[in-house]
């Protein structure tokens, strides 16, 4: 502002006799403020719509090999910094408790199947005994019924010939008693048959219930065995992706506690960018937004990433991103996912620029060509 006033004073001394110049000099302060406002408005139009730019650090998602129970390391096949490919063996682990439990369940399953077969044979034997007893009882009753019926028919024939005895009360009573005895024996046969059939049905139902119960228990044991055998297979850790070994925290023969990290694996190239936006501009970034990530030096091919995370609070920037060592910088943390195929180094600082969907489509078309 002082320089502008000096220029106006010099201009006034040179052109003080001019009326227009005199008016300008009289209102020099107001004119200076008007010029500043116009300049600010022009800058706003010039930079309107310009994408926000901020910095970040290239990182990689890590995988930690650990188990939820105490283990013993049999053999470690990797060293820190080694590259492993899909199918490579990383480490072989032993769990004595797992082996012991598998043995116990296998024995329990064998015993259960043996008991089930034995119970089935015992019930079949009891059913056969009931049938045999019924048959013996049936034959005895039928024989007695036939004898009584024959005797009854014989008495009726004699009674018919001896008409003089047809009114004999004693003979009539005897025939009636024999008929009642025959009826009683038939009822006894029916009751014996019904009782035997009910007993057989009960035995077979018990057999079915035992088989169903045994099958359910056996199915539960087999399910647990399958899960334990799956865990046994996982004791030999095989690489399912291409990795770079980070840390190896164990040695051969060492015993490891539950959930202790055994080996740490990371992707060879960064897969995430941890960006930090100044707290004054963080509102311009949204989840799902496309951004362009380039090296801090500006060299190399840029990649297109996607904003997948926004912190809900203001955090301090990493020390290496401070402009002055003694003055911390604060802002919002942004997580950006980038393709695995990139030329960034782990820990490299990058520049992140917001890009529109139209620019993103153009860059993708260029990349395809």
Mean pLDDT in each 10-residue stretch from start to end of the chain (369 residues)? 55 52 55 64 47 81 85 92 91 87 82 65 77 84 83 75 53 64 82 81 66 73 87 87 89 90 88 84 74 83 88 87 84 89 86 69 54
51-66+262-369: in CATH 3.30.1490.20: no
Q: Which part of the chain is CATH 2.40.30.170?
A: 51-66+262-369
Predicted confidence at residue 359, as pLDDT, reads 56
CB neighbour burial string for 98-134, b if at least 16 within 10 angstroms, e if fewer: beeebeebeeebeebeeebeeeeeebeebbeebeeeb
**Look-up of token digits 């045994």:** 214
Q: Is 62 helix (H, G, I), strand (E, B) or coil?
A: strand
In the numeric block, which tokens belong to residue 267?
A: 């992707």
97-233, CATH topology level: Helix Hairpins (1.10.287)
Q: Are 275 and 318 in contact (CB under 8 A)?
A: no
Domain with CATH 1.10.287 in the chain: 97-233
User: Would you state the pLDDT for residue 39?
Assistant: 60
The CATH 2.40.50.100 portion of the chain extends over 67-95+235-261
Q: Do the beta carbons of residue 359 and residue 66 sit within 8 Å? A: no
Q: Please say whether the beta carbons of 247 and 97 come within 8 A.
A: no
The greatest distance separating any two alpha carbons of the chain, rounded to the nearest whole angstrom, comes to 182
Coil, helix or strand for 352? strand
Q: Which three-class secondary structure string do you get for 170-220?
A: HHHHHHHHHHHHHHHHHHHHHHHHHHHHHHHHHHHHHHHHHHHHHHHHHHH
pLDDT score recorded for residue 362: 54
| Highest CATH level, class, for 67-95+235-261 | mainly beta
Q: CA-to-CA distance for 333 and 315, rounded, in angstroms?
A: 7
Instruction: Provide the Cα torsion 171, 175, 178, 180; round to 10°.
Output: -120
DSSP string, 252-294: TT-EE-TT---EEEE-SS--EEEEEEETTTGGG--TT-EEEEE
pLDDT of residue 76: 93
Summary count for the chain: helices (H), strands (E): 6, 14
- The pLDDT, as a whole number, for residue 45 is 47
Given a contact cutoff of 8 angstroms between Cβ atoms, the answer to whether 59 and 246 are in contact is no
CB crowding 197-218: b at 16 or more within 10 Å, else e: eebbeebeeebeebeeebeeee
Rounded to two decimals, what is the model's pTM? 0.47
- Sort 156 into a burial class: Cβ within 10 Å, 0-12 / 13-18 / 19+: exposed
């Amino acid at each position: 502002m002082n320089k502008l006033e000096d220029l106006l004073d010099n201009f006034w001394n040179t052109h003080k006799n001019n009326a227009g110049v005199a008016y300008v000099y009289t209102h020099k302060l107001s004119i200076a403020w008007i010029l500043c406002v116009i300049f600010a408005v022009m800058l706003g139009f010039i930079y309107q719509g310009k994408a926000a730019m901020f910095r970040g650090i290239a990182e990689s998602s890590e995988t930690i090999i650990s188990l939820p129970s105490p283990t013993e390391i049999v053999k470690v096949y990797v060293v820190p910094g080694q590259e492993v490919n899909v199918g490579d063996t990383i480490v072989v682990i032993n769990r004595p408790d797992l082996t012991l439990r598998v043995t116990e369940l296998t024995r329990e399953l064998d015993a259960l199947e043996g008991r089930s077969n034995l119970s089935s044979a015992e019930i079949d034997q009891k059913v056969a005994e009931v049938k045999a007893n019924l048959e013996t009882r049936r034959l005895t009753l039928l024989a007695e019924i036939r004898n009584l019926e024959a005797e009854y028919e014989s008495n009726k024939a004699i009674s018919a010939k001896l008409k003089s005895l047809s009114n004999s009360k004693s003979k009539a009573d005897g025939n009636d008693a024999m008929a009642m005895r025959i009826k009683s024996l038939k009822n006894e046969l029916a009751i014996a048959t019904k009782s035997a059939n009910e007993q057989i049905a009960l035995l077979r139902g018990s057999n079915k219930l035992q088989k169903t119960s045994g099958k359910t228990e056996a199915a539960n044991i087999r399910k647990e065995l399958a899960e334990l055998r799956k865990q046994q297979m996982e004791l030999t850790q095989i690489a399912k992706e291409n990795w770079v070994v980070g840390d190896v925290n164990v040695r051969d023969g060492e015993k490891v506690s539950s959930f202790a990290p055994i080996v740490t694996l990371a992707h060879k190239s960064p897969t995430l960018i941890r960006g930090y936006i100044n707290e004054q501009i963080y509102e311009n970034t949204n989840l799902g937004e496309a951004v362009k990530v380039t090296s801090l030096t500006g060299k190399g091919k840029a990649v297109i990433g996607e904003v997948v995370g926004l912190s809900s609070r203001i955090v301090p920037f990493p020390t290496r991103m401070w402009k002055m060592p003694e003055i911390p910088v604060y802002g919002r943390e942004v997580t950006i996912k980038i393709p695995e195929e990139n030329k960034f180094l782990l820990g490299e600082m990058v520049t992140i620029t917001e890009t529109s969907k139209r620019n993103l489509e153009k860059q993708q078309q260029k990349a395809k060509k």
